[in-house]
Structure 1
């Protein structure tokens, strides 16, 4: 608390006015600050991380035969740097190169391509491939589009040399 201390009287001839020293005790204010700080820390809700549910397949046995993808039901996405997505319908061969199209991650880009392909063939399997220039954000955006459009079957696959040759043409 604030206290006033009286100064000692001098024994001079004239009566002097008494000087009072003032000292402010900050202890109650510091106590109140810590009480408020702990109150707000305990009553605050912390932000929860946004997590995407991703189901990974079971590791195949050595004797298992990989699933066969029908070319008419396949859509191949190649994620390139600079927020670009190259895509083609079907599978790519060195003998039969596919017709390559390019779009972006906007709502008018990849999302519309996925929705149109799903209307054409409800059994569509999307193959997602990346180039060395692709970023982690590109992959997350592509997986988000799969979730938004309700795509049930998609796989992250290694990029073949035929796909890289198709990109460089």
Structure 2
């Protein structure tokens, strides 16, 4: 049982004799019980943060070469995920690049700005908002999971409708090595 003793203590120096105060005893058991009941109530009624998930459609591995679509090079942006939270992007194919490879970081002043600029360019070239930018995301073995999640977040923020996660090729690894982001 918990209790609080508020007695006055013993005789303090001096010659006066004082009347002895009776100690007041406060029983704290009920307050402790109430505290545990409230803690239990709030723990059971509180909703914990729910994990957020992003839907991701992966390409069909069963498709043959005849079933795959041919896409114009000027609509295709390739993003190579390297080490050190850096990435490299270019337009077109690795052997026929329409823009020189550019090393960027993540965020609004990095890859997001490039994606938004290229999206506007592609819509201007095609004249059809449905034929917008297509992004190929190619993570390297030196990139980490956070980099992949960050670039998927950038796709969502930039409102890119068509993107795919694709295996990286040897010429692209050489490109990352040349620019020093494959360590």
TM above 0.5, one fold?
yes
Aligned partner of 2:166 among 149, 157, 163: 157
Q: Give the 5 Å matches for 1:27-38.
A: 27-38=29-40
> Does the aligned pair in 1 maintain the 2:59–2:164 contact within 8 Å?
no
Pair 1:44-2:53 in alignment: no
| Greater Cα radius of gyration, structure 1 or 2 | 1
State the secondary structure of the residue aligned to 2:106: coil
1:51 and 1:131 map into 2 onto residues whose CA distance is 23
Unaligned runs of 5+ in 1: 3-22
Pair 1:133-2:142 in alignment: yes
1:63 and 1:88 map into 2 onto residues whose CA distance is 24
2:176 and 2:61 map into 1 onto residues whose CA distance is 31
1:58 and 1:65 map into 2 onto residues whose CA distance is 10
In structure 2, the partner of 1:16 is none
Unaligned runs of 5+ in 2: 4-24, 124-131, 179-183
Q: How many residues align?
A: 149
In structure 1, the partner of 2:181 is none
Q: CA RMSD in A?
A: 2.7
* Range with bigger deviation, 133-142 or 157-166: 157-166
1:39-69 CA deviation, whole Å, 9 max, x = no partner?
2223323222222232345554558622222
CA 112–48 in structure 1, closer or farther in 2 if over 3 Å, else same? same
CA 58–165 in structure 1, closer or farther in 2 if over 3 Å, else same? closer
2:65 and 2:100 map into 1 onto residues whose CA distance is 35
CA 85–164 in structure 1, closer or farther in 2 if over 3 Å, else same? same
In structure 2, the partner of 1:102 is 103
In structure 1, the partner of 2:18 is none
In structure 1, the partner of 2:74 is 72
In structure 2, the partner of 1:7 is none
